[in-house]
Each structure stands twice: as C-alpha cells, then as structure tokens.
Amino acid sequence: AQTVTQSQPEMSVQEAETVTLSCTYDTSESNYYLFWYKQPPSRQMILVIRQEAYKQQNATENRFSVNFQKAAKSFSLKISDSQLGDTAMYFCAFRTSGSRLTFGEGTQLTVNP
Amino acid sequence: NAGVTQTPKFQVLKTGQSMTLQCAQDMNHNSMYWYRQDPGMGLRLIYYSASEGTTDKGEVPNGYNVSRLNKREFSLRLESAAPSQTSVYFCASRRRGRKTQYFGPGTRLLVL
C-alpha cells in the first residue's frame, strides 16, 4: 500500500521569504506521479505543481518548485517570495497508474505580513 | 467552462435521513471521484468511476452509494446518515490519459 507523510502540521513564513514544505512517500511502484495541492480557506482544492517520477528534472511553476529525491522518496515544495495569498493548507499527493490519489495529512502554511 | 460543480454547498441532516450530493463536470472528463476530508487527515477516496457506466469502491465506501448518471454527472448518496459521516465532501474529475484531477468546491455536511 502507498502512504504519504507530511511531518509538519503547521508552518509560518514572513511575506517575501522562502519556505519549504516536506513530504515523503512509500511505494514499491516505479512509475508514479506526485502532486502538491493547495486548499485555501474557501476549501477548494487547487493544483499547485506536479512531478512525474520518471523525470529527473525538478518541476517548477513560477514561484513554486519541488525538490524530488526519488531514492529517498522525498518530494518537498519550495515557495519563493511568499505572498499573503499563499496562506492555505497544502497537501502532498501520490498516484500510480492505477488512478487512485493518496493524500498526506496536510501542512497549514501561514504567511505573515 | 465551470469546471467541477457540486451542490449543495452546505447541508445539515439528522441521523437516519438520506440525501444525495450532486457533482457535474463540463470538461468532458472520463473519470470522476468522490472524497471525504476530515480534520487532521488528507482526502480519502470513497468511490470512483473510471468511465460512464462503471463505479468502484475506494478506501472508505461503507455507508455510501454512487451513480454515474452520464459522462457529466456523478452523484453520492447517503441512505441513512450517521454522525460519523459529518465531513467535507469533494468531487473530482480527470481526463483519460492525463495525470491531474480537478476538484470541485466541496460540500460541507453536518449530521446531528
């Protein structure tokens, strides 16, 4: 069975600074996909970034980037130049070709002015 | 293009009552999903439908039924609501061959 672990229930960062959210996962599969979703107070789930396991290059989307360490089964999210609108719950998620998403417990990020 | 829509946004039920949560997507996606989200936990899959006419159990299916009415719509039914089903329910959809699921805004359900 696949598991996803986010060991930081809460984090805070000052506006304009950089923060890194951690995620580890466990799987015996070799082909899989990793995601970070953001859930603001509106509760909607919004895709932030995704990474294919077969790609060695780390994914980047504007201020969001990942550090994907396949051997260590680690998938951290770096947010640069943090903005107040980044305040949200962030979920790491994992999917194999079998189509099911497995989510971590979430990290509540607060960006302080 | 509204994406994934869910109704209602919020509902209060008494124990034993039944209700249906509605989900629709206008992106011509093949797969649709129902999740529940409880405090301190990530989303857990209740049921999913890989294509029109098929449904499969997820991680926590007990107490729920689903119907894939057509390609656009995927409903979740609680036949006899229990307080343990108090949660936020999310519907999601995905295009076949693509990796990303797109989520609706959620339905907050309170069972007293």
Indicate whether A110 pLDDT > 90. Answer: yes
Mean pLDDT of chain A: 92
Q: In this complex, which of B42, B100, B104 lies closest to A106 when CB atoms are compared?
A: B42
Predicted confidence band of residue A99 (pLDDT cuts 50, 70, 90): low
Question: Residue A14: its pLDDT value, please?
Answer: 97
Q: How far apart are CA A100 and CA A109, in angstroms?
A: 26
Say if the Cβ atoms of A45 and B92 lie within 8 Å.
Answer: yes
A9: closest chain B residue by CA: B40
Say if the Cβ atoms of A95 and B99 lie within 8 Å.
Answer: yes
Indicate whether B82 pLDDT > 90. Answer: yes
Number of residues that this document lists for chain B: 112
Question: Residue B85: its pLDDT value, please?
Answer: 97
Which residues have CB under 8 Å from A97's CB, separation 6+?
Answer: A29, A31, A32
Question: Residue B20: its pLDDT value, please?
Answer: 97
**CB of B78 within 8 Å of any CB in chain A?**
no
* DSSP-assigned letters across all residues of chain B: ---EEEE-SEEEE-TT--EEEEEEESS--SEEEEEEE-TTS-EEEEEEESSTT--EE-S--TT-EEEE-SSSBEEEEESS--GGG-EEEEEEEE-TT----EE---EEEEE-
Question: Residue B42: its pLDDT value, please?
Answer: 83
Neighbours of A73 (CB within 10 A): 18
**CB of A93 within 8 Å of any CB in chain B?**
yes
Q: How far apart are CA B48 and CA A95, in angstroms?
A: 14
Predicted confidence band of residue B88 (pLDDT cuts 50, 70, 90): very high
For residue A27 the two structure tokens come to: 């799987």
Say if the Cβ atoms of B103 and A37 lie within 8 Å.
Answer: yes
- Residues of chain B in contact with residue A44, where contact means CB-CB under 8 angstroms, are 103-106
Q: Report pLDDT digits (tens) over B61-72.
A: 999 999 998 999
Bridge partners (DSSP) of residue B35 are B45, B90
Q: Report pLDDT digits (tens) over A49-94.
A: 999 988 889 999 999 999 999 999 999 999 999 999 999 999 999 9
Question: Residue B61: its pLDDT value, please?
Answer: 95
User: Ramachandran region of residue B97, left (φ > 0), alpha (ψ -120 to 50) or beta?
Assistant: left
Indicate whether A97 pLDDT > 80. Answer: no
Q: How far apart are CA B72 and CA B87, in angstroms?
A: 24
Q: How far apart are CA B37 and CA B45, in angstroms?
A: 9
Which residues have CB under 8 Å from A35's CB, separation 6+?
Answer: A47, A48, A49, A50, A51, A92, A93, A94, A95, A101, B100
- Mean pLDDT over residues B34-53, rounded? 90
- Mean pLDDT over residues A19-34, rounded? 92
Say if the Cβ atoms of A103 and B108 lie within 8 Å.
Answer: no
- Mean pLDDT over residues B86-109, rounded? 91
